[in-house]
Structure 1
Amino acid sequence: MPATTSPVDAAPLKEHAPSDIEIVPVRHYGRWIAALAAVAAVGGLVGSLAKNANLHWDVIGHYLFAGLIFDGLTTTLWLTAAAMVLGLGIGTLIAIMRLSANPVLYGLSSLFVWVFRGTPLLVQIIFWGYAAALYKKVMIGIPFTDITFLQADTNTLLTPAVAALLALGLNEAAYASEIVRAGIQSVDTGQTEAAHSLGMRPALTMRRIVLPQAMRVIIPPMGNETINMLKMTALVSVIAAHDLMSNIQDVYAQNYQVIPMLMVASIWYLALVSLLSVPQAWMERRYGRGTSGGGRVSPVQRMLAGAFSSVRGKKESDR
Protein backbone atom coordinates (compact mmCIF):
# COMPACT_ATOMS: atom_id res chain seq x y z
CA MET A 1 0.00 0.00 0.00
CA PRO A 2 1.42 3.48 -0.84
CA ALA A 3 2.11 5.65 2.16
CA THR A 4 -0.29 8.53 2.65
CA THR A 5 0.41 11.86 4.27
CA SER A 6 -2.08 12.96 6.86
CA PRO A 7 -3.07 16.63 7.26
CA VAL A 8 -1.30 16.60 10.61
CA ASP A 9 2.02 15.73 8.95
CA ALA A 10 1.60 18.29 6.18
CA ALA A 11 0.99 21.19 8.54
CA PRO A 12 4.62 21.64 9.67
CA LEU A 13 5.75 21.80 6.03
CA LYS A 14 3.51 24.77 5.38
CA GLU A 15 4.81 26.59 8.42
CA HIS A 16 8.39 26.43 7.12
CA ALA A 17 7.79 27.35 3.49
CA PRO A 18 10.80 28.92 1.70
CA SER A 19 8.98 32.22 1.26
CA ASP A 20 8.67 32.59 5.03
CA ILE A 21 12.40 32.00 5.80
CA GLU A 22 14.26 35.18 6.68
CA ILE A 23 17.68 35.40 5.03
CA VAL A 24 20.24 37.08 7.28
CA PRO A 25 23.56 37.80 5.48
CA VAL A 26 26.75 37.08 7.39
CA ARG A 27 28.42 40.27 8.55
CA HIS A 28 32.17 40.36 8.16
CA TYR A 29 33.10 43.15 10.55
CA GLY A 30 36.73 42.01 10.73
CA ARG A 31 37.12 42.41 6.96
CA TRP A 32 35.77 45.94 7.01
CA ILE A 33 37.99 46.92 9.95
CA ALA A 34 41.05 45.49 8.18
CA ALA A 35 40.07 47.23 4.93
CA LEU A 36 39.63 50.59 6.67
CA ALA A 37 42.97 50.19 8.43
CA ALA A 38 44.70 49.37 5.13
CA VAL A 39 43.10 52.35 3.37
CA ALA A 40 44.10 54.64 6.24
CA ALA A 41 47.70 53.39 6.10
CA VAL A 42 47.91 53.87 2.33
CA GLY A 43 46.31 57.30 2.60
CA GLY A 44 48.80 58.31 5.28
CA LEU A 45 51.72 57.15 3.14
CA VAL A 46 50.44 59.00 0.06
CA GLY A 47 49.83 62.11 2.12
CA SER A 48 53.32 62.05 3.58
CA LEU A 49 54.85 61.67 0.12
CA ALA A 50 52.72 64.48 -1.29
CA LYS A 51 53.82 66.87 1.47
CA ASN A 52 57.47 65.80 1.47
CA ALA A 53 59.52 68.67 0.07
CA ASN A 54 62.56 66.44 -0.38
CA LEU A 55 60.88 64.68 -3.30
CA HIS A 56 60.99 67.88 -5.40
CA TRP A 57 57.77 67.33 -7.31
CA ASP A 58 58.71 70.15 -9.65
CA VAL A 59 61.76 68.16 -10.78
CA ILE A 60 59.60 65.05 -11.25
CA GLY A 61 57.08 66.98 -13.32
CA HIS A 62 59.84 68.53 -15.44
CA TYR A 63 61.51 65.24 -16.36
CA LEU A 64 58.45 62.96 -16.45
CA PHE A 65 57.75 63.76 -20.11
CA ALA A 66 61.22 64.93 -21.14
CA GLY A 67 62.59 63.89 -24.51
CA LEU A 68 65.52 62.06 -22.92
CA ILE A 69 63.08 59.92 -20.92
CA PHE A 70 61.08 59.03 -24.03
CA ASP A 71 64.28 58.02 -25.82
CA GLY A 72 65.06 55.65 -22.97
CA LEU A 73 61.50 54.31 -22.99
CA THR A 74 61.80 53.50 -26.69
CA THR A 75 64.97 51.49 -26.09
CA THR A 76 63.42 49.74 -23.08
CA LEU A 77 60.30 48.74 -25.02
CA TRP A 78 62.07 47.40 -28.09
CA LEU A 79 64.60 45.55 -25.93
CA THR A 80 61.75 43.93 -23.99
CA ALA A 81 59.85 42.92 -27.13
CA ALA A 82 62.91 41.69 -29.05
CA ALA A 83 64.35 39.79 -26.08
CA MET A 84 61.01 38.05 -25.42
CA VAL A 85 60.63 37.06 -29.09
CA LEU A 86 64.20 35.77 -29.16
CA GLY A 87 63.84 34.02 -25.81
CA LEU A 88 60.49 32.42 -26.64
CA GLY A 89 61.69 31.22 -30.06
CA ILE A 90 64.92 29.69 -28.76
CA GLY A 91 63.21 28.52 -25.57
CA THR A 92 60.56 26.56 -27.51
CA LEU A 93 63.29 24.88 -29.56
CA ILE A 94 65.27 24.05 -26.40
CA ALA A 95 62.14 22.66 -24.73
CA ILE A 96 61.45 20.34 -27.66
CA MET A 97 65.10 19.23 -27.63
CA ARG A 98 64.90 18.44 -23.90
CA LEU A 99 61.84 16.26 -24.57
CA SER A 100 63.61 14.46 -27.42
CA ALA A 101 64.73 10.86 -27.07
CA ASN A 102 67.99 11.79 -28.82
CA PRO A 103 70.67 11.90 -26.07
CA VAL A 104 72.78 14.45 -28.00
CA LEU A 105 69.90 16.91 -28.35
CA TYR A 106 68.91 16.37 -24.73
CA GLY A 107 72.48 16.89 -23.52
CA LEU A 108 73.06 20.08 -25.53
CA SER A 109 69.74 21.61 -24.45
CA SER A 110 70.37 20.71 -20.81
CA LEU A 111 73.83 22.29 -21.02
CA PHE A 112 72.31 25.48 -22.45
CA VAL A 113 69.78 25.72 -19.62
CA TRP A 114 72.42 24.93 -17.01
CA VAL A 115 74.78 27.69 -18.21
CA PHE A 116 72.32 30.54 -18.83
CA ARG A 117 70.07 29.80 -15.88
CA GLY A 118 72.93 29.14 -13.51
CA THR A 119 74.82 32.42 -13.99
CA PRO A 120 73.49 35.85 -12.93
CA LEU A 121 71.95 37.99 -15.64
CA LEU A 122 74.18 40.92 -14.65
CA VAL A 123 77.27 38.77 -15.28
CA GLN A 124 75.94 37.78 -18.70
CA ILE A 125 75.24 41.39 -19.65
CA ILE A 126 78.76 42.47 -18.68
CA PHE A 127 80.24 39.45 -20.47
CA TRP A 128 78.51 40.28 -23.77
CA GLY A 129 79.28 43.97 -23.34
CA TYR A 130 82.99 43.29 -22.97
CA ALA A 131 83.25 40.25 -25.25
CA ALA A 132 85.97 42.03 -27.25
CA ALA A 133 88.34 41.43 -24.35
CA LEU A 134 88.00 37.69 -25.08
CA TYR A 135 87.70 37.74 -28.87
CA LYS A 136 88.89 40.81 -30.74
CA LYS A 137 87.36 39.54 -33.99
CA VAL A 138 84.34 37.40 -34.80
CA MET A 139 85.17 34.90 -37.54
CA ILE A 140 83.01 32.32 -39.31
CA GLY A 141 84.79 29.58 -41.22
CA ILE A 142 85.86 25.93 -41.13
CA PRO A 143 87.10 24.90 -37.66
CA PHE A 144 90.76 23.93 -37.23
CA THR A 145 91.68 25.49 -40.59
CA ASP A 146 92.64 28.96 -41.82
CA ILE A 147 89.59 29.16 -44.09
CA THR A 148 87.41 32.12 -43.06
CA PHE A 149 84.15 33.15 -44.74
CA LEU A 150 83.18 36.17 -42.63
CA GLN A 151 85.20 38.34 -40.28
CA ALA A 152 84.21 41.41 -38.27
CA ASP A 153 85.55 43.46 -35.41
CA THR A 154 83.84 42.44 -32.16
CA ASN A 155 83.31 46.00 -30.89
CA THR A 156 81.73 46.97 -34.20
CA LEU A 157 79.47 43.92 -34.26
CA LEU A 158 78.50 43.83 -30.58
CA THR A 159 77.25 47.33 -29.88
CA PRO A 160 75.80 47.94 -26.39
CA ALA A 161 72.27 47.45 -27.74
CA VAL A 162 73.14 44.16 -29.48
CA ALA A 163 75.04 42.92 -26.42
CA ALA A 164 72.06 43.76 -24.21
CA LEU A 165 69.69 41.95 -26.58
CA LEU A 166 71.83 38.81 -26.66
CA ALA A 167 72.20 38.73 -22.89
CA LEU A 168 68.51 39.28 -22.20
CA GLY A 169 67.28 36.99 -24.99
CA LEU A 170 69.53 34.02 -24.22
CA ASN A 171 68.90 34.28 -20.49
CA GLU A 172 65.17 34.39 -21.11
CA ALA A 173 65.41 31.39 -23.44
CA ALA A 174 66.67 29.23 -20.55
CA TYR A 175 63.67 30.12 -18.39
CA ALA A 176 61.16 30.06 -21.26
CA SER A 177 62.28 26.57 -22.23
CA GLU A 178 61.31 25.24 -18.80
CA ILE A 179 57.94 27.00 -18.95
CA VAL A 180 57.22 25.61 -22.43
CA ARG A 181 58.40 22.15 -21.41
CA ALA A 182 56.07 22.19 -18.40
CA GLY A 183 53.19 23.28 -20.64
CA ILE A 184 53.86 20.51 -23.17
CA GLN A 185 54.09 17.87 -20.44
CA SER A 186 50.77 19.06 -18.97
CA VAL A 187 48.95 17.85 -22.11
CA ASP A 188 47.75 14.28 -21.79
CA THR A 189 49.78 11.81 -23.87
CA GLY A 190 46.53 10.41 -25.23
CA GLN A 191 46.16 13.57 -27.31
CA THR A 192 49.45 12.85 -29.07
CA GLU A 193 48.63 9.20 -29.54
CA ALA A 194 45.24 10.04 -31.02
CA ALA A 195 46.83 12.50 -33.46
CA HIS A 196 49.42 9.91 -34.52
CA SER A 197 46.67 7.35 -35.05
CA LEU A 198 45.09 9.77 -37.54
CA GLY A 199 48.35 9.93 -39.49
CA MET A 200 49.59 13.31 -38.25
CA ARG A 201 53.35 13.77 -38.18
CA PRO A 202 55.09 14.66 -34.89
CA ALA A 203 55.81 18.26 -35.97
CA LEU A 204 52.20 18.80 -37.08
CA THR A 205 50.93 17.19 -33.88
CA MET A 206 53.07 19.51 -31.80
CA ARG A 207 51.89 22.60 -33.70
CA ARG A 208 48.20 21.76 -34.06
CA ILE A 209 47.37 19.62 -31.03
CA VAL A 210 49.88 19.93 -28.19
CA LEU A 211 50.96 23.58 -28.19
CA PRO A 212 47.43 25.10 -28.38
CA GLN A 213 46.43 23.09 -25.30
CA ALA A 214 49.71 23.83 -23.54
CA MET A 215 49.15 27.58 -23.93
CA ARG A 216 46.72 27.51 -21.01
CA VAL A 217 49.62 26.54 -18.75
CA ILE A 218 52.28 28.61 -20.57
CA ILE A 219 50.53 32.01 -20.73
CA PRO A 220 50.44 32.98 -16.98
CA PRO A 221 54.15 32.38 -16.22
CA MET A 222 55.20 33.72 -19.62
CA GLY A 223 53.26 36.91 -18.97
CA ASN A 224 55.08 37.19 -15.67
CA GLU A 225 58.38 36.68 -17.50
CA THR A 226 57.49 39.52 -19.90
CA ILE A 227 56.83 41.89 -17.00
CA ASN A 228 60.04 40.74 -15.36
CA MET A 229 61.94 41.30 -18.61
CA LEU A 230 60.67 44.88 -18.77
CA LYS A 231 62.21 45.56 -15.37
CA MET A 232 65.38 43.55 -16.04
CA THR A 233 66.23 45.87 -18.93
CA ALA A 234 67.31 48.32 -16.24
CA LEU A 235 70.42 46.16 -15.72
CA VAL A 236 71.75 47.02 -19.18
CA SER A 237 72.61 50.45 -17.81
CA VAL A 238 75.94 48.92 -16.72
CA ILE A 239 77.01 48.80 -20.39
CA ALA A 240 75.41 52.16 -21.30
CA ALA A 241 72.73 50.75 -23.59
CA HIS A 242 70.75 54.05 -23.33
CA ASP A 243 67.60 52.49 -21.90
CA LEU A 244 65.28 54.28 -19.48
CA MET A 245 67.43 53.58 -16.43
CA SER A 246 70.63 54.57 -18.25
CA ASN A 247 69.20 57.96 -19.17
CA ILE A 248 67.84 58.42 -15.64
CA GLN A 249 71.32 57.79 -14.24
CA ASP A 250 72.83 60.25 -16.71
CA VAL A 251 70.43 62.94 -15.49
CA TYR A 252 70.91 62.50 -11.75
CA ALA A 253 74.67 62.26 -12.25
CA GLN A 254 74.46 65.90 -13.38
CA ASN A 255 71.74 67.44 -11.20
CA TYR A 256 72.24 65.17 -8.12
CA GLN A 257 68.45 64.72 -7.78
CA VAL A 258 68.64 60.96 -7.24
CA ILE A 259 65.32 60.33 -5.47
CA PRO A 260 63.17 62.49 -7.81
CA MET A 261 64.69 60.83 -10.88
CA LEU A 262 64.14 57.37 -9.41
CA MET A 263 60.51 58.37 -8.84
CA VAL A 264 60.27 59.26 -12.54
CA ALA A 265 61.62 55.81 -13.44
CA SER A 266 59.25 54.10 -11.01
CA ILE A 267 56.21 55.91 -12.40
CA TRP A 268 57.02 54.85 -15.95
CA TYR A 269 57.80 51.25 -15.01
CA LEU A 270 54.52 50.99 -13.09
CA ALA A 271 52.61 52.43 -16.05
CA LEU A 272 54.22 50.00 -18.52
CA VAL A 273 53.66 47.00 -16.24
CA SER A 274 49.99 47.97 -15.89
CA LEU A 275 49.63 48.12 -19.68
CA LEU A 276 51.29 44.72 -20.11
CA SER A 277 48.88 43.18 -17.62
CA VAL A 278 45.92 43.90 -19.92
CA PRO A 279 46.89 41.63 -22.87
CA GLN A 280 48.08 38.97 -20.42
CA ALA A 281 44.65 38.84 -18.77
CA TRP A 282 42.96 38.72 -22.20
CA MET A 283 45.13 35.83 -23.37
CA GLU A 284 44.53 33.93 -20.13
CA ARG A 285 40.77 34.24 -20.64
CA ARG A 286 41.04 33.25 -24.30
CA TYR A 287 43.13 30.13 -23.80
CA GLY A 288 41.34 29.27 -20.55
CA ARG A 289 37.91 28.97 -22.15
CA GLY A 290 36.11 25.82 -21.10
CA THR A 291 38.08 25.45 -17.86
CA SER A 292 37.25 26.35 -14.27
CA GLY A 293 39.55 29.39 -14.46
CA GLY A 294 38.24 30.60 -17.79
CA GLY A 295 36.09 33.30 -16.22
CA ARG A 296 38.88 34.79 -14.15
CA VAL A 297 38.39 38.45 -13.30
CA SER A 298 40.91 41.11 -12.43
CA PRO A 299 41.66 42.12 -8.80
CA VAL A 300 39.91 45.47 -9.34
CA GLN A 301 36.75 43.74 -10.56
CA ARG A 302 36.87 41.39 -7.57
CA MET A 303 37.15 44.30 -5.12
CA LEU A 304 34.28 46.20 -6.77
CA ALA A 305 32.09 43.10 -6.89
CA GLY A 306 32.80 42.37 -3.21
CA ALA A 307 32.00 45.93 -2.18
CA PHE A 308 28.74 46.00 -4.16
CA SER A 309 27.62 42.62 -2.81
CA SER A 310 28.31 43.76 0.77
CA VAL A 311 26.33 46.97 0.31
CA ARG A 312 23.49 45.07 -1.38
CA GLY A 313 23.38 42.54 1.46
CA LYS A 314 23.25 45.31 4.06
CA LYS A 315 20.36 47.02 2.26
CA GLU A 316 18.40 43.77 2.07
CA SER A 317 18.96 43.07 5.76
CA ASP A 318 17.74 46.55 6.72
CA ARG A 319 14.43 46.12 4.93
Structure 2
Amino acid sequence: MRLATVRADDGTEIPVAVTADHGTVPVSDLLDDPPTNTMELLEPATWQLLEQRLGRRSGSGGAREDGAEFTAPYRHPRKVWGIGLNYVDHASDLSEIVPEEPASFMKGDHTIIGPGDPIPLPPQSDRVTAEAELGLVIGSYCRNVGEDAALDHVAGLTPVLDQTAEDILARNPRFLTRSKNFPGFLSFGPHIVPVSQVAGADGRLGDVEVATVIDGQVQRSNTVARMRYSPEFLVSFHSRVMPLYPGDIILTGTPGAVPLRAGMLAECRISGLPTLRNPVVNSA
Protein backbone atom coordinates (compact mmCIF):
# COMPACT_ATOMS: atom_id res chain seq x y z
CA MET A 1 0.00 0.00 0.00
CA ARG A 2 1.08 3.54 -0.80
CA LEU A 3 -0.32 6.86 0.38
CA ALA A 4 -1.19 9.80 -1.84
CA THR A 5 -3.57 12.71 -2.32
CA VAL A 6 -5.85 13.24 -5.31
CA ARG A 7 -7.77 16.28 -6.51
CA ALA A 8 -11.53 15.81 -6.62
CA ASP A 9 -13.79 17.33 -9.27
CA ASP A 10 -14.60 20.25 -6.96
CA GLY A 11 -10.89 21.01 -6.44
CA THR A 12 -10.61 19.62 -2.91
CA GLU A 13 -7.67 17.34 -2.07
CA ILE A 14 -8.52 13.88 -0.76
CA PRO A 15 -6.21 11.40 1.02
CA VAL A 16 -6.13 8.01 -0.69
CA ALA A 17 -4.52 4.61 -0.39
CA VAL A 18 -3.07 3.15 -3.61
CA THR A 19 -2.68 -0.57 -4.21
CA ALA A 20 -2.28 -2.83 -7.22
CA ASP A 21 -5.42 -4.79 -6.26
CA HIS A 22 -7.79 -1.95 -5.39
CA GLY A 23 -6.52 1.01 -7.36
CA THR A 24 -6.96 4.39 -5.67
CA VAL A 25 -9.23 4.17 -2.63
CA PRO A 26 -10.37 7.22 -0.65
CA VAL A 27 -9.30 6.95 2.98
CA SER A 28 -12.85 8.00 3.90
CA ASP A 29 -13.97 4.56 2.64
CA LEU A 30 -11.59 2.83 5.05
CA LEU A 31 -11.59 4.75 8.33
CA ASP A 32 -14.49 5.61 10.63
CA ASP A 33 -13.11 9.07 11.42
CA PRO A 34 -10.83 9.86 8.47
CA PRO A 35 -8.48 12.82 8.49
CA THR A 36 -8.61 15.34 5.68
CA ASN A 37 -4.82 15.46 5.38
CA THR A 38 -2.58 12.61 4.23
CA MET A 39 0.11 13.79 6.66
CA GLU A 40 -2.12 12.57 9.49
CA LEU A 41 -1.95 9.00 8.12
CA LEU A 42 1.81 8.55 8.38
CA GLU A 43 2.16 7.16 11.89
CA PRO A 44 2.67 3.37 11.92
CA ALA A 45 -0.55 2.48 13.76
CA THR A 46 -2.72 4.41 11.28
CA TRP A 47 -0.84 2.99 8.27
CA GLN A 48 -1.33 -0.54 9.63
CA LEU A 49 -5.04 0.05 10.20
CA LEU A 50 -5.45 1.18 6.60
CA GLU A 51 -3.71 -1.96 5.38
CA GLN A 52 -5.99 -4.11 7.52
CA ARG A 53 -9.12 -2.42 6.20
CA LEU A 54 -7.90 -2.78 2.62
CA GLY A 55 -7.23 -6.46 3.24
CA ARG A 56 -10.90 -6.99 4.09
CA ARG A 57 -12.14 -5.48 0.84
CA SER A 58 -13.07 -7.79 -2.02
CA GLY A 59 -12.63 -6.79 -5.62
CA SER A 60 -11.56 -3.30 -6.60
CA GLY A 61 -13.01 -0.13 -5.11
CA GLY A 62 -12.60 3.57 -5.51
CA ALA A 63 -11.29 5.35 -8.58
CA ARG A 64 -8.67 3.52 -10.58
CA GLU A 65 -5.19 5.01 -10.38
CA ASP A 66 -5.04 5.83 -14.09
CA GLY A 67 -7.99 8.20 -13.67
CA ALA A 68 -6.72 9.98 -10.57
CA GLU A 69 -5.14 13.42 -10.58
CA PHE A 70 -2.41 13.23 -7.95
CA THR A 71 -1.33 16.34 -6.09
CA ALA A 72 1.36 16.98 -3.50
CA PRO A 73 0.81 14.32 -0.81
CA TYR A 74 0.39 17.17 1.71
CA ARG A 75 1.12 20.89 1.84
CA HIS A 76 2.31 21.83 5.31
CA PRO A 77 5.07 19.71 6.87
CA ARG A 78 6.54 21.12 10.05
CA LYS A 79 9.92 21.25 8.36
CA VAL A 80 11.85 20.26 5.25
CA TRP A 81 15.58 19.58 5.52
CA GLY A 82 17.64 19.78 2.34
CA ILE A 83 21.13 18.31 2.02
CA GLY A 84 23.67 19.89 -0.30
CA LEU A 85 26.63 18.19 -2.00
CA ASN A 86 25.71 14.75 -0.71
CA TYR A 87 26.74 12.81 -3.83
CA VAL A 88 30.50 12.63 -4.11
CA ASP A 89 30.34 12.92 -7.91
CA HIS A 90 28.05 15.97 -7.83
CA ALA A 91 30.39 17.80 -5.47
CA SER A 92 33.32 17.18 -7.83
CA ASP A 93 31.23 18.52 -10.73
CA LEU A 94 30.92 21.80 -8.87
CA SER A 95 34.59 21.83 -7.83
CA GLU A 96 33.38 21.66 -4.25
CA ILE A 97 34.80 19.62 -1.39
CA VAL A 98 32.36 17.18 0.18
CA PRO A 99 31.75 18.63 3.65
CA GLU A 100 32.80 16.74 6.76
CA GLU A 101 29.22 17.04 8.07
CA PRO A 102 25.92 17.23 6.15
CA ALA A 103 25.46 20.63 4.47
CA SER A 104 21.90 21.20 5.65
CA PHE A 105 19.42 23.93 4.79
CA MET A 106 15.67 24.37 5.31
CA LYS A 107 12.80 25.16 2.98
CA GLY A 108 9.41 26.69 3.78
CA ASP A 109 6.12 25.00 2.96
CA HIS A 110 5.23 27.88 0.60
CA THR A 111 7.66 26.28 -1.89
CA ILE A 112 5.58 23.08 -2.21
CA ILE A 113 3.87 22.09 -5.44
CA GLY A 114 2.72 18.67 -6.62
CA PRO A 115 2.94 16.48 -9.72
CA GLY A 116 2.00 18.33 -12.88
CA ASP A 117 2.07 21.76 -11.26
CA PRO A 118 4.25 24.34 -13.03
CA ILE A 119 7.68 25.27 -11.69
CA PRO A 120 7.71 29.07 -12.00
CA LEU A 121 11.02 30.74 -12.85
CA PRO A 122 11.31 33.89 -10.71
CA PRO A 123 12.34 37.15 -12.39
CA GLN A 124 15.03 37.65 -9.72
CA SER A 125 17.08 34.77 -11.14
CA ASP A 126 18.63 34.08 -14.54
CA ARG A 127 19.75 30.53 -13.67
CA VAL A 128 17.33 28.22 -11.90
CA THR A 129 18.23 24.53 -11.72
CA ALA A 130 16.17 21.43 -10.98
CA GLU A 131 17.59 18.69 -8.80
CA ALA A 132 16.04 15.23 -8.60
CA GLU A 133 16.24 13.80 -5.09
CA LEU A 134 15.07 10.92 -2.95
CA GLY A 135 12.81 12.25 -0.20
CA LEU A 136 12.53 10.59 3.22
CA VAL A 137 9.12 11.10 4.83
CA ILE A 138 9.23 10.83 8.60
CA GLY A 139 6.42 8.71 10.06
CA SER A 140 6.98 8.78 13.81
CA TYR A 141 8.54 11.10 16.37
CA CYS A 142 12.29 10.81 16.13
CA ARG A 143 14.88 12.23 18.53
CA ASN A 144 18.47 11.14 19.14
CA VAL A 145 18.14 7.85 17.25
CA GLY A 146 21.02 5.73 16.03
CA GLU A 147 21.56 4.79 12.42
CA ASP A 148 20.45 1.20 13.08
CA ALA A 149 16.95 2.39 14.03
CA ALA A 150 16.70 5.43 11.77
CA LEU A 151 14.69 3.90 8.91
CA ASP A 152 12.15 2.59 11.44
CA HIS A 153 11.04 6.21 11.76
CA VAL A 154 10.64 6.72 8.00
CA ALA A 155 7.06 6.21 6.82
CA GLY A 156 8.11 6.10 3.20
CA LEU A 157 10.02 7.44 0.24
CA THR A 158 8.93 9.95 -2.37
CA PRO A 159 10.40 11.55 -5.51
CA VAL A 160 11.41 15.21 -5.15
CA LEU A 161 12.39 18.04 -7.47
CA ASP A 162 14.33 20.67 -5.51
CA GLN A 163 14.96 23.97 -7.31
CA THR A 164 17.78 26.46 -6.75
CA ALA A 165 18.39 30.00 -8.00
CA GLU A 166 22.04 29.22 -8.65
CA ASP A 167 23.07 32.71 -9.73
CA ILE A 168 21.86 34.11 -6.41
CA LEU A 169 23.73 31.41 -4.50
CA ALA A 170 26.88 32.05 -6.53
CA ARG A 171 27.00 35.65 -5.34
CA ASN A 172 27.44 34.53 -1.74
CA PRO A 173 27.04 31.12 -0.04
CA ARG A 174 25.13 32.86 2.75
CA PHE A 175 22.33 33.42 0.23
CA LEU A 176 21.50 29.70 0.23
CA THR A 177 18.18 30.07 2.06
CA ARG A 178 16.98 32.76 -0.35
CA SER A 179 18.09 30.80 -3.41
CA LYS A 180 16.11 27.74 -2.27
CA ASN A 181 12.85 29.36 -1.17
CA PHE A 182 11.02 30.86 -4.12
CA PRO A 183 7.44 29.58 -4.60
CA GLY A 184 7.32 26.31 -6.53
CA PHE A 185 10.89 25.37 -5.61
CA LEU A 186 9.89 22.02 -4.05
CA SER A 187 7.77 19.43 -5.82
CA PHE A 188 7.11 16.00 -4.34
CA GLY A 189 4.86 13.02 -4.96
CA PRO A 190 2.87 11.45 -6.43
CA HIS A 191 3.10 8.63 -3.84
CA ILE A 192 4.67 7.94 -0.47
CA VAL A 193 6.05 4.42 -0.82
CA PRO A 194 7.08 2.20 2.14
CA VAL A 195 10.83 1.63 2.45
CA SER A 196 10.25 -2.13 2.33
CA GLN A 197 8.88 -1.86 -1.22
CA VAL A 198 12.07 -0.20 -2.47
CA ALA A 199 14.94 -1.47 -0.30
CA GLY A 200 17.16 -4.38 -1.25
CA ALA A 201 17.27 -7.76 0.45
CA ASP A 202 19.54 -6.24 3.11
CA GLY A 203 16.89 -3.66 3.97
CA ARG A 204 19.07 -0.82 2.69
CA LEU A 205 18.67 1.61 -0.19
CA GLY A 206 22.13 1.56 -1.76
CA ASP A 207 21.02 0.17 -5.14
CA VAL A 208 18.28 2.74 -5.62
CA GLU A 209 19.03 4.97 -8.64
CA VAL A 210 18.07 8.65 -8.73
CA ALA A 211 17.97 10.56 -12.03
CA THR A 212 17.41 14.18 -13.03
CA VAL A 213 15.55 14.09 -16.35
CA ILE A 214 14.72 16.96 -18.72
CA ASP A 215 12.35 16.55 -21.67
CA GLY A 216 12.59 12.78 -21.40
CA GLN A 217 16.39 12.65 -21.45
CA VAL A 218 18.39 11.54 -18.41
CA GLN A 219 20.84 14.33 -17.60
CA ARG A 220 22.43 13.02 -14.43
CA SER A 221 21.94 9.84 -12.41
CA ASN A 222 23.58 7.99 -9.56
CA THR A 223 22.83 5.43 -6.89
CA VAL A 224 22.21 6.00 -3.20
CA ALA A 225 25.37 4.01 -2.49
CA ARG A 226 27.34 6.97 -3.91
CA MET A 227 25.98 9.34 -1.26
CA ARG A 228 28.53 10.67 1.19
CA TYR A 229 25.94 10.43 3.94
CA SER A 230 23.44 7.57 3.79
CA PRO A 231 19.69 8.01 4.41
CA GLU A 232 20.14 6.28 7.77
CA PHE A 233 22.89 8.68 8.75
CA LEU A 234 20.89 11.74 7.67
CA VAL A 235 17.88 10.77 9.79
CA SER A 236 20.08 10.00 12.79
CA PHE A 237 22.16 13.17 12.40
CA HIS A 238 19.20 15.52 12.10
CA SER A 239 17.32 13.83 14.94
CA ARG A 240 20.24 14.87 17.14
CA VAL A 241 19.85 18.49 16.01
CA MET A 242 16.11 18.76 16.67
CA PRO A 243 13.07 16.48 16.95
CA LEU A 244 11.69 15.07 13.73
CA TYR A 245 7.91 14.75 13.49
CA PRO A 246 5.52 12.82 11.22
CA GLY A 247 5.42 14.60 7.89
CA ASP A 248 8.88 16.14 8.12
CA ILE A 249 10.82 15.56 4.91
CA ILE A 250 14.55 15.06 4.42
CA LEU A 251 15.80 15.70 0.87
CA THR A 252 18.86 13.50 0.51
CA GLY A 253 20.73 15.39 -2.21
CA THR A 254 20.93 15.25 -5.99
CA PRO A 255 23.16 13.37 -8.44
CA GLY A 256 23.15 16.51 -10.57
CA ALA A 257 21.38 19.82 -11.17
CA VAL A 258 20.15 20.92 -14.60
CA PRO A 259 19.42 24.54 -15.68
CA LEU A 260 15.79 25.19 -16.55
CA ARG A 261 14.00 27.35 -19.08
CA ALA A 262 10.33 27.86 -19.76
CA GLY A 263 8.78 25.09 -21.85
CA MET A 264 10.89 22.27 -20.40
CA LEU A 265 9.50 19.25 -18.57
CA ALA A 266 11.52 18.36 -15.47
CA GLU A 267 11.34 14.86 -14.00
CA CYS A 268 12.60 12.94 -11.01
CA ARG A 269 12.99 9.24 -11.77
CA ILE A 270 13.82 6.88 -8.91
CA SER A 271 13.90 3.10 -9.23
CA GLY A 272 10.94 1.55 -7.43
CA LEU A 273 8.99 4.84 -7.23
CA PRO A 274 6.53 6.51 -9.61
CA THR A 275 7.97 9.32 -11.74
CA LEU A 276 7.46 12.94 -10.70
CA ARG A 277 6.96 15.42 -13.58
CA ASN A 278 6.60 19.20 -13.60
CA PRO A 279 6.45 21.65 -16.53
CA VAL A 280 8.58 24.79 -16.32
CA VAL A 281 7.07 28.26 -16.89
CA ASN A 282 8.05 31.88 -16.44
CA SER A 283 6.51 33.54 -13.40
CA ALA A 284 3.41 35.55 -14.22
**Structure with larger Rg:** 1
Query: Which TM bucket (shorter chain)?
Result: under 0.3
Give the TM-score normalised by structure 1: 0.22
Whose helix fraction is larger, Structure 1's or Structure 2's?
A: 1
Higher strand share: 2
Report the TM-score, using the length of structure 2 for normalisation.
Answer: 0.24
